[in-house]
Structure 1
Amino acid sequence: MWNIILRRIMIMIPQIFLLSLLVFLMAKAMPGDALTGLLDPSIDPKALDEQRERLGLNNPWYVQYWDWIRNAAQGDFGQSFRFKMPVMDLIGQRISNTFWLALATLVFTYLIAIPLGIISGRYNDTWSDRLITGYTYLGFAAPLFIFALVMLWIFGFHFGLFPTGGSVAPGLTPGTFSYVASKFYHLLLPALSMALIATVSTVQYLRSEIIDIKHKEFVLTARAKGASESRVYNRHILRNSLLPIAAFFGYEITGLIGGTIIIESIFSYPGMGQLFLNSISLRDFSVVTALVLIFGIATILGSLLSDIILGLVDPRIRIK
């Protein structure tokens, strides 16, 4: 198992290098640069040209890439041109919000998906199964940003049950119970909005696994030997059905990356996703490239995590 993990990590190194190159080239292909479109019209264009020369923005792309990747390997992604602070410090202010939002979404996703998938698979072709399947069809059809906007309008603006923006109420002291409760209260609606859409694939997958395993020979044999129905489901059907779901955990993490960007923008939630969109509109390339690289590495690590979990939960499976 450790040899497999080591081999996958060695494969990840050129993947990350190629990702960094693509990220940098795409950022350079964007129109303008960080000094384009400054709001102050009184700035002398010659001063801007001198600033570009000083910052190395006029150097060939491969020189700029080498300087960037060399500094990034040391954890230095440069300075944010718009926020006037180091990029890693800026990301550090937002990363905790995104982490807790993603964690809450994962918890809600599995708390909702696993019971619904079990009920739908165990009692397939019943009214409960039809209702759950109808919910999943609606979830597949509804775009996340539309669903999130509807949730925000209904529970945020119309009924006023949840905050409509921010990550914590102003004036609270960090570390106090009121502060922690406010943080959880602010992320509850965004996390639920994302989880209710993220559950549909897990519910359908678990339902299909349970229905398929119910007709396997070892299940029929267990029933023929007189095993109780609860024992058949708990020890044979459910246990084997949850193995792929456990392996799917890493891919759930990668799916949250795109979801948090949309959700944070809609709910004005100050995380890395909102910072990413703002940095694109502001042409803050140093922040954009750093965030895309971080998101890409997280996606690669999520894929690796899924492979590791699959090998751990089912010793019969070994990734060659």
Structure 2
Amino acid sequence: MNGVNRQKIGGMTLGRYIGRRMLTGALTIIVAIILSFILIHLAPGDPVNILSGKDNPSPEMEAALRAKYGLDQPLLVQLFAYLKNLVQGDLGQSISNNRPVVDLIAERIGPTLLLSLTTAVLSLVIGTALGIYCARRAGSKLDAALNGVSYLFDSMPGFWLGMMLILIFASWLKLLPTAGMVDLRADYAGFAHYMDVLKHLILPGLTLTLLSTPYFFRIARSSVIQVMSEDFVTTLRATGMKENRIFNKYVFKNAILPTVTVFGITLAYIFTGVAIIEIVFSWPGMGSFMLKAIGSRDYPLLMGIYLFLSISVAVNMIVVDLVYAIIDPRIRYK
């Protein structure tokens, strides 16, 4: 049978499998939206308390604000109104910024994707390569040294590592900027602008890469060691097959699956995973923006951020499952 839609995964056509996974993802997103809405609104405090101020707030002003934002309605009424607007593509108006939620998210998603995707790919490549290299030389001095270094960075607080890198490379050596995404005073354009962004990306990117690489390193290392100890590998060695051929043809595909899972999870939580680092380096991304929205109890903005987070999780889980099927055809889906 030819054609992508007629390929089969465990007796199920690829198109049907993708359809089922998309349906599951859509249901997951709907449940996440409803739970997020209820939990956010049940949390202590609301945006009206913040907008009206703490010093002698006017009851009339509070009542007017609650009526304006629909907070005087029962929770279920507010939920159905939000879902109705969401179906129409309206994510609402930010209470604290008085701007459409879609516009605010669009401004912030680019910097977060740039920082997160760059560091995720670097961590995947570096950690997996080092893990495989050490696994094939398990017990060597280099293996022991890299294991120790991985545990050191794994136990290191992200905000502390970021501040230490700022202290060394920005304050002492004066090689890199301390914060932000661009130099606002320089007003670069064209190629100079991209180089300026790259220069500002180095420190937050290095921080996240140093923190994330140990996960990929240890998972890749342990997976390769486990697969190489399997009986079928011993049998292949007994037949006289070369070690490199055994690894490239049989070991690598089996050992890489856990790494793919971790990479998918890393991408799924791309918005929240870099929040602390974005704050340390004043990076204008989604993570730091979400924390500000939580502090101001900006319900529409928070719901918009959680919506994009839910979609990110669902899409990445579907992609990971498909990559699994490509890497290892033995996997069966029911």
TM-score (norm 1): 0.91
- Whether 1:70 aligns to 2:81 is no
> Which of these residues, 87, 108, 128, is aligned with residue 122 of structure 2?
108
Equivalences, count: 320
The Cα of 1:42 is off from its aligned counterpart by: 9.3
Q: Which aligned pairs between 1:219-234 and structure 2 lie closer than 5 A?
A: 219-234=233-248
Q: Partner residue of 1:136?
A: 150
Gaps of 5+ in 2: 1-13
Q: Partner residue of 1:155?
A: 169
- Write the letter of the residue equivalent to 2:282: S
The Cα of 1:124 is off from its aligned counterpart by: 0.3
Secondary structure at 1:71's aligned position in 2? helix
The Cα of 1:251 is off from its aligned counterpart by: 1.5
Residues 175 and 315 of structure 1: is their aligned pair in 2 closer, same or farther, counting only changes over 3 Å? farther
Secondary structure at 2:294's aligned position in 1? helix
The Cα of 1:242 is off from its aligned counterpart by: 2.1
- Write the letter of the residue equivalent to 1:267: F
Q: Distance in 1 between matches of 2:214 and 2:322?
A: 24
Q: Partner residue of 2:203?
A: 189
Q: Does the CA-based 8 Å contact 1:257-1:295 persist in structure 2?
A: yes
Q: Partner residue of 2:35?
A: 22
The Cα of 1:62 is off from its aligned counterpart by: 0.7
Q: Which aligned pairs between 1:280-299 and structure 2 lie closer than 5 A?
A: 280-299=294-313
The Cα of 1:249 is off from its aligned counterpart by: 2.7
Q: Does the CA-based 8 Å contact 1:8-1:304 persist in structure 2?
A: yes
Deviations, residues 44-99 of structure 1 (Å, cap 9, x unaligned): 54234223213311011111111112212333111112212111101111110011
Q: Partner residue of 1:4?
A: 17
The Cα of 1:174 is off from its aligned counterpart by: 7.3
Gaps of 5+ in 1: none
Q: Partner residue of 1:61?
A: 75
Deviations, residues 9-48 of structure 1 (Å, cap 9, x unaligned): 2222332222111111122123332232337779854234
Q: Partner residue of 1:177?
A: 191
> Which of these residues, 274, 278, 283, is aligned with residue 269 of structure 1?
283
The Cα of 1:171 is off from its aligned counterpart by: 4.9
Q: Distance in 2 between matches of 1:84 and 1:295?
A: 22
Residues 247 and 138 of structure 1: is their aligned pair in 2 closer, same or farther, counting only changes over 3 Å? same
Secondary structure at 2:121's aligned position in 1? helix
Q: Which aligned pairs between 1:231-246 and structure 2 lie closer than 5 A?
A: 231-246=245-260
- Write the letter of the residue equivalent to 1:5: I
- Whether 1:311 aligns to 2:325 is yes
> Which of these residues, 264, 278, 289, is aligned with residue 250 of structure 1?
264
Deviations, residues 186-215 of structure 1 (Å, cap 9, x unaligned): 122212211222121211111112112223
Q: Once superposed, what is the RMSD of the aligned Cα atoms?
A: 2.3
TM-score (norm 2): 0.87
Q: Partner residue of 1:32?
A: 45
The Cα of 1:247 is off from its aligned counterpart by: 4.2
Q: Does the CA-based 8 Å contact 1:261-1:272 persist in structure 2?
A: yes
The Cα of 1:101 is off from its aligned counterpart by: 0.8
